[in-house]
Amino acid sequence: MDTLTQPSPETSTNRSSRYQQVRELKYRVLSWLIWLLARAIYKTLRVQTENMQSLVPSPNKGAILVTWHGRTFIAANILRNRGYWALISLSRDGELQNRIFRRFGFQTVRGSTGRGGVRGALEMARKVQKGEVLAFTPDGPRGPTHKVQPGVILMAEKSGAPIVPVGISASRRILIRSWDSYLIPLPFARAFFLVGDPIYVPPNLDENGRLAYAAQLERALNRMEREAERRAGYPNYPSEWATDES
């Protein structure tokens, strides 16, 4: 009668090591290819920026730059190599995003408004309080799209730094069928990066106060994106995202 043998600990360790090496190679190659493609496309774009001086309202002070999750392609290129920070999801997809953003010259902290979010938000609040700049997508990492999650308000409240909304669009683009309708501009498109007025969040808010500022930020972001869409030739901004500006 045959006896089933169990793999030795050494064999299991070798398999795990090979798996880690393959995964590392996959992430390294994929992040490089995506970065290379993004840079190649971006270099063909005709980019129009507006109010760039308001990205960081006060010199040598921190700021939280926000745009919707589906519009980071253009933002990552424009903000590259400035040493800004990005808060990246702890998910498996987040590992690839982490490597891509690092290739763009961002510093990163792992966390989100979901899993690990409070820890990540407080860690970033401390960095921003010391004068660092954070680039953040307040509807990430899993949506719902165009809905501000509370993490960004908490970071602004704890750090005292302003939140700066940015609207982004492109005249010719692909909208991926994903939860965030991720925008990839086509080569030689016109791209728009419009910076809005900073929003200052006071300290010691209660839950209702945080919800009110989240709604204010949501309106500001939608207003900026709606204007970017109009300039890109898409005046019929999705009605479900075009919240009242009042």
- pLDDT one-digit tens code per residue, 99-109: 999 999 999 98
pLDDT at 116: 46
Q: Is 68 inside any structural domain?
A: yes
Q: Is 89 inside any structural domain?
A: yes
pLDDT at 63: 97
At residue 7 the predicted structure's pLDDT band, cuts being 50, 70 and 90, is low
Print the domain residue range for 118.
46-231
Measured distance CA(220)–CA(245) in Å, rounded: 7
Q: Is 120 inside any structural domain?
A: yes
pLDDT digits (tens, 9 = 90+) for 115-173: 445 677 788 899 999 999 999 999 978 889 999 988 899 999 999 999 999 999 999 99
What percent of the chain lies above the pLDDT cut of 90?
Answer: 70
Q: Is 189 inside any structural domain?
A: yes
Least confident of 4-18, 30-44, 49-63, 177-191: 4-18
Q: Is 36 inside any structural domain?
A: no
CB-based contact 83:107 (threshold 8 Å): yes
Q: Is 197 inside any structural domain?
A: yes
Question: Residue 199 gets which letter from DSSP?
Answer: B
**How many structural domains comprise the chain?**
1
Q: Is 29 inside any structural domain?
A: no
